[in-house]
Structure 1
Amino acid sequence: MKEPVKKPWIWIIMGLLVLFNAPWYFPEGTIEPLIFGLPYWVVVSTVLSLLLCAYLYWLCRNQWHIIEDEEEAENEREGD
C-alpha cells in the first residue's frame, strides 16, 4: 500500500482549501451581500474552514491505516 503522504492529490486538495480559506481573492472593502447578517466573505471562509476540517477528518479516518497492534504483535513473535 502506498504511503498516503506520497499521494499528490491529498496535498493539492489541502493546499487549495487552505489557499482559498483566506478571503484575499474578494474585492477589497466589500461586505455586500449580507448572508444571515454576515458579510459573504465570512460565510465563504467559514464554509471552507468546515470543509478543511471534514477533509482532514476523512483523511485521518480513511487514508492513514495505523497498524501498530499488528506491528507490535509481529515484533513480539520475532523477539521470542
Structure 2
Amino acid sequence: MQREKREPVRNYKIWIVFGIIFILLNPWYFPAGGDPVLIYGVPLWALVIMGVTVLLSLHITYVIKYHWDESDEVPDREEDK
C-alpha cells in the first residue's frame, strides 16, 4: 500500500530543513580575522559550504522523489508528434 503524497509546499518539515540548510550555507558562524584554517590548502569555510551544498542537493532530490505528487501531470505522448 503506497502512502498518499502531499505537495512539498504544504509540508512544514521540508521548509524547516531548507531553512537550516540555507543558514548553514552562509559562513557567518566562523570567527572573523586571524589565520584561516586550511585543509590541503583549502579554507575550512569553503569545505563546509561545499559539504552543505551537497546536503542541499540530496535534500532536493529526496523531496522530488518522495514528496512530489506527479499524478496530475500530463504525460508526454509520442503519437502526438
Alignment TM-score, normalising by the size of structure 1 = 0.75
- What residue ranges of structure 2 are gaps of 5+ in the alignment? 76-81
* Range with greater deviation from structure 2 (22-31 or 51-60): 22-31
The aligned residue for residue 31 of structure 1 is 36
Conserved? CA contact 2:7–2:69, under 8 Å: no
Shift of 1:65: 1.9
Q: Given the alignment of the two structures, is residue 19 of structure 1 paired with residue 46 of structure 2, yes or no?
A: no
- What residue ranges of structure 1 are gaps of 5+ in the alignment? 71-80
Shift of 1:36: 2.2
Report the AA paired with residue 9 of structure 1: K
Using CA pairs under 8 Å that are at least 6 residues apart, name the structure with larger relative contact order, 1 or 2: 2
Max Rg structure: 1
The number of equivalent residue pairs is 69
Runs (4 or more) in structure 1 with deviation over 3 Å come to none
SS of residue paired to 1:31:
coil
